[in-house]
């Protein structure tokens, strides 16, 4: 028997079908938790973020539709910003947590094509020069803008812009080249 598609499961959520949420959770919980953990760098906070994200899906399934692209990407976008919001809240109460690069872990659920595609991106990210990787980390995983990164790192604003643009351009080109 084939498992129900994301579209079918989301439609069932609108009928308040708890089994549909469980199915989505089992399909995507590791993806969501992994990204949340990458952003907040704290297991307990990552759990809270994961729970918030799935409750958002439960409470507002209509927020996603097929036209918005694949469900998992939408879910991860929500995860990233929920985690960044949570991180900002935590920062106001605690010292910033050290950045721990855990690249190289094996994916837990590899059934998703996008995840498989990102397999190639992960080492490319790790191979960036440290100064470029750091600005990508601050911008993407911590949600900081150009000027916020400059303020945080003490680097000139122009340097931050150049580093981020160079890093992202390099990542995109190398990622595309590997697919050819």
Partner 1 sequence: MPPTAENPCERLADLIPAYSIGATDPDETAFVQAHLAECPEAVAHLAEFAHLAEGLHYAAPSAQAPTRLLTAIRRQIAPSPAVRALRPVRRWVQGIAAAATIALIVGINLFWAARLEDAERRQAVLRAQLTDQQTALALIGAADVQRVSLPAINPAIPDAPPAATLVSAPNQAVALLTVQYFPALAPDKAYQIWLIKAGRRVSGGLFRVDSEGRAMVIVRAPMALSAYDEVGITPEPADGSAAPTAPPIVRGPIWP
What part of residues 93-132 is at the interface with partner 1 (CB under 8 A)?
102-108, 112, 114-115, 117-118, 121-122, 125
Verify binding: residue 35, partner 1, rule CB under 8 A: yes
Q: Which of 73, 97, 131, 156 binds partner 1 (CB under 8 A)?
A: 73
Phi, psi of 103 (to 5 degrees): -60, 145
3-class secondary-structure state, position 100: coil
Site string for partner 1, 149-168 (x = CB under 8 A): x-----------x--xx--x
Q: Which of 108, 116, 126, 137 lies closest to 41, judged by CA?
A: 137
Q: Which of 23, 78, 87, 128 binds partner 1 (CB under 8 A)?
A: 78
Verify binding: residue 11, partner 1, rule CB under 8 A: no
Angle at 50 between CA 2 and CA 35, to 5 degrees: 85
Verify binding: residue 22, partner 1, rule CB under 8 A: yes
Verify binding: residue 21, partner 1, rule CB under 8 A: yes
Residue entry with tokens 């050290």: 98
Verify binding: residue 69, partner 1, rule CB under 8 A: yes
Angle at 31 between CA 26 and CA 36, to 5 degrees: 120
3-class secondary-structure state, position 14: helix
């Amino acid at each position: 028997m084939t498992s129900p598609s994301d579209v079918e499961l989301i439609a069932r959520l609108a009928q308040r079908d708890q089994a549909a949420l469980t199915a989505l959770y089992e399909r995507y919980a590791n993806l969501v938790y992994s990204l949340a953990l990458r952003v907040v760098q704290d297991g307990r906070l990552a759990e809270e973020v994961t729970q918030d994200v799935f409750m958002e899906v439960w409470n507002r399934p209509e927020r996603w539709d097929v036209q918005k692209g694949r469900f998992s990407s939408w879910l991860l976008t929500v995860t990233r910003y929920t985690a960044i919001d949570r991180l900002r809240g935590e920062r106001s109460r605690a010292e910033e947590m050290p950045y721990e690069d855990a690249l190289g872990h094996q994916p837990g659920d590899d059934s998703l094509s996008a995840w498989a595609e990102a397999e190639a991106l992960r080492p490319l990210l790790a191979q960036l020069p440290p100064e470029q990787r750091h600005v990508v980390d601050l911008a993407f995983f911590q949600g900081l803008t150009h000027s916020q990164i400059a303020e945080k790192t003490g680097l000139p604003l122009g340097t931050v812009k150049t580093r981020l643009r160079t890093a992202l351009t390099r990542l995109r080109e190398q990622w595309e080249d590997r697919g050819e």
